[in-house]
């Protein structure tokens, strides 16, 4: 159950900001932003960490990192995050590639390095106690650098938290066109609150 303050804004300034952004976007401001405005003690640090993982310097493109986030969301059964991050990924990668990767990354038309990394992230997400140094070596043998693997681990770590947060707070699921609009904003603005 969400507090009314989260829905409408906890202060006059937040209410104005939520109303303004919703008007400009011509849609209801997604719950992820509403919650970040309300839970500033959580929203600001998690937003900064997520922004660094998703938009910081990396050999992974923004589209690839967004696809990783969507995959972690899929493994965690978070419909909101799958929709949000696949919409952002589609701004940089071909939508059929994203859909094929979400359906079966092992058979999708992606690089061997990304495929191996997704295998690592899947195990990290679903069976973390089974993760081993050999799993990391498998990714490195696929041509992924240790820095790139570290970057992917940061993405998965952030979204293993965010997906649970989104589900615990029962984020409303926007329509496909609303995900598309929000994806434009998220691509442009990033994750800082």
Place of tokens 């293993």: 160
Note the pLDDT tens digit of each residue in 89-123: 999 999 999 999 999 999 999 999 999 999 999 99
Spatial CA neighbour of 117 closest among 97, 138, 131:
138
What 3 state SS string does 95-131 have? HHHHHHHHHHCCCCCCCHHHHHHHHHHHHHHHCHHHC
Spatial CA neighbour of 78 closest among 153, 162, 3:
162
Note the pLDDT tens digit of each residue in 10-63: 566 666 666 666 677 666 666 666 566 666 666 678 788 889 999 999 999 999
Where do the domains of the chain lie, and which CATH numbers do they carry? 44-189 (1.20.1290.10)
On the question of pLDDT at 70 being above 70, the answer is yes
Note the pLDDT tens digit of each residue in 112-153: 999 999 999 999 999 999 999 999 999 999 999 999 999 999
Contact in structure between 116 and 149 (CB atoms under 8 Å): no
Given this model, what pLDDT does residue 115 score? Answer: 98
Model confidence, pTM: 0.83
Given this model, what pLDDT does residue 169 score? Answer: 75
**Integer Cα distance of 71 and 118 in angstroms:** 8
Quick one: how far is CA 102 from the chain centroid?
Answer: 13
């Amino acid at each position: 159950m969400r507090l009314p303050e989260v829905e409408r804004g906890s202060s006059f300034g937040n209410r104005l900001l939520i109303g303004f952004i919703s008007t400009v976007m011509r849609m209801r401001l997604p719950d992820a932003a509403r919650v970040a405005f309300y839970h500033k003690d959580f929203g600001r640090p998690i937003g900064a960490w997520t922004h660094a993982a998703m938009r910081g310097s990396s050999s992974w493109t923004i589209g690839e990192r967004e696809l990783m986030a969507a995959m972690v969301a899929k493994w965690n059964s978070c419909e909101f995050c799958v929709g949000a991050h696949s919409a952002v990924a589609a701004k940089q990668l071909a939508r059929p590639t994203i859909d094929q990767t979400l359906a079966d990354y092992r058979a999708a038309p992606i690089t061997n390095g990304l495929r191996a990394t997704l295998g690592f992230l899947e195990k990290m997400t679903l069976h973390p106690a089974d993760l081993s140094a050999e799993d990391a070596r498998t990714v490195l043998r696929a041509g992924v650098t240790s820095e790139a693997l570290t970057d992917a681990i940061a993405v998965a770590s952030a979204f293993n938290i965010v997906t649970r947060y989104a589900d615990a707070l029962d984020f409303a699921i926007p329509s496909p066109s609303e995900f598309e609009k929000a994806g434009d904003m998220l691509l442009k603005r990033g994750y800082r609150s």
